[in-house]
């Protein structure tokens, strides 16, 4: 990681690469899968890209995924949201990451706790059974606090990196060329 060399000593990087190169399996049917993830693929150096041969861009959650995340985030929370509220929230969270969605649900769920007062919560006297339900207003407040953490310039940089180095950058054109997906 050239740009992050100050965080990762130079002496460690070649060592871990050499270890990856020297990994072998004992049996003919043994397999080893190495999975890595980064929010900064641009900082991967040539040697890392050579060793990590399949490079996938995982996009931000689409509307269906965000709806599922909201549903899961509200699963254990008493709420008074309608289907229309949920659809509106899905639209309002376009561009949010999975982490952003989780933060939004946490922030909205804190409003009923705030209404009861932090002192009682800190003293262990907050009874969650008596908390009011989370409302659309709580989510509107949370939307003001929790913004999308991935900017347009970052998305463009990810897409450019994917065009240049991604394993499936031309997947759509490959499918069309072989007649798949009709």
pLDDT digits (tens, 9 = 90+) for 49-59: 888 888 889 99
- Indicate the average pLDDT of the chain: 81
User: Where are the domain boundaries for CATH 1.10.8.60 in the chain?
Assistant: 63-149
pTM of the model: 0.72
Burial of 129 (0-12, 13-18, 19+ CB in 10 A): exposed
Q: Look at the domain 63-149 and name its fold.
A: Helicase, Ruva Protein; domain 3 (1.10.8)
Within 10 angstroms of residue 49's Cβ, the number of other Cβ atoms is 13
| Residue in 149, 137, 136 with CA at minimum distance from that of residue 103 | 149
H helix or E strand, kind and range, residue 118: helix 118-122
pLDDT digits (tens, 9 = 90+) for 112-161: 988 877 656 556 666 677 789 999 999 999 999 999 999 999 999 999 99
Q: What is the Rg, in whole angstroms, of the alpha carbon atoms belonging to the chain?
A: 23
* Mean pLDDT value of segment 95-112: 96
């Amino acid at each position: 990681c050239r740009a992050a060399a100050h965080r990762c000593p130079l002496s460690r990087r070649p060592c871990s690469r050499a270890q990856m190169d020297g990994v072998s399996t004992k049996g003919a049917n043994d397999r080893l899968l190495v999975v890595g993830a980064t929010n900064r693929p641009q900082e991967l150096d040539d040697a890392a890209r050579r060793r990590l041969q399949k490079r996938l861009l995982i996009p931000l959650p689409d509307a269906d995924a965000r709806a599922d995340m909201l549903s899961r985030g509200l699963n254990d929370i008493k709420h008074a949201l309608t289907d229309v509220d949920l659809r509106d929230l899905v639209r309002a969270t376009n561009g949010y990451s999975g982490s952003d969605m989780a933060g939004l649900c946490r922030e909205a769920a804190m409003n009923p706790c705030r209404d009861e007062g932090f002192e009682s919560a800190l003293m262990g006297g907050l009874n969650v059974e008596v908390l009011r339900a989370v409302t659309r207003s709580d989510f509107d407040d949370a939307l003001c606090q929790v913004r999308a953490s991935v900017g347009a310039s970052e998305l463009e940089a990810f897409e450019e990196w994917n065009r240049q180095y991604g394993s499936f950058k031309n997947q759509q054109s490959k499918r069309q060329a072989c007649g798949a997906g009709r």
